[in-house]
Structure 1
Amino acid sequence: MVSAVPRLRRYARALAGDHAAADDLVQDTLQRAWTRIDTWQHGADMRAWLFSILHNLHVDQRRRPGLTTVALDDEALELPVRASQTDGLDMRDLETALQQILPEQREVLLLVALEDMSYEEIARTLGVPLGTVMSRLSRGRSRLRGVMEGRIQPRILKVVK
């Protein structure tokens, strides 16, 4: 495996076009090969096996949408600071609006927004079908947006004695 590293690096540089990305690709290749060494057939050409792993990783990375990043200089790190006087009011308005949606919708909305859970994780957590999660989220977002924009009047709770 070690003797194939220079050739893997050369191929990775040709594919990636960037030395750092190529080195990462080779490292990922070697890691995957090491963890799956039991899938390599003894007597087969290890170099071909390693190149196929490298190629497949590269194709997977190209298919995966990446984030476009921009290098920041020191001046760009000074971000504007928003006035904090309205933050408390905004939070109070949001809390009030959250109370105006059904508890089932609020649960799903908070799990998505605050806990960054996937729909599948929420469905398992709440013990409901995936479609129910999506429906509750859609309705909750719509109602929350309406309350925050003033289009939907807050619910008035009746006190029963």
Structure 2
Amino acid sequence: MTAADLSAMLPSMLPRLWAFALRISGDRHDAEDLVQRACVRALERAHQLQPGTAPLSWMFSIVQSTWINELRARSVRSRSGMDWDDDFLETVADPAARTPEQQAMHGQIVKAVQQLPEAQRVVMLLVGVEGLSYNEAAEALDVPIGTIMSRLSRARQAIGALFSDQKEQRVQSAADSEDQGA
């Protein structure tokens, strides 16, 4: 594939790449920078896109590896005394959430996914949110399909357990309140 071919495909990919970048980075500005760096990197390496490889999966892979490199660089800066100040980062509400209930539910789901280990979180985002097939996700992350299935299964179990624990805590809290009122 040529850079011109990829350049013609990128505009249609940008919304999904940006959404993925926002989900893995958690910050709008980081996501914008991440997508921009990934697009530049892809255009520079367009000749490396193998025939039969889905360009979108390839781009997800580049976004993921670019983010990992950024996290490593931040870690080095942090150890060298250059701390990242989260107080200055802007947070963006989800424009798709229309009611307070939907916003609360969305927040709980996002928080649960963010608590997953990085490998499980990325697989959950690619398969569950971006809609990639197991095979496409395996290709994007350069891991066997069994690894994708395993990580996704563990991620789903962890999220299910988290919500089960929260439900049990609410039930117990309600029972305790009733006991105190009696």
Q: Do the structures match in fold with TM over 0.5?
A: no
Tell me the TM-score range normalised by the shorter chain: 0.3 to 0.5
TM-score by length of 1: 0.41
Larger RCO of the pair (alpha carbons < 8 Å, separation 6+): 2
Give the number of the structure whose alpha-carbon radius of gyration is greater: 1
TM-score norm. by structure 2 comes to 0.37
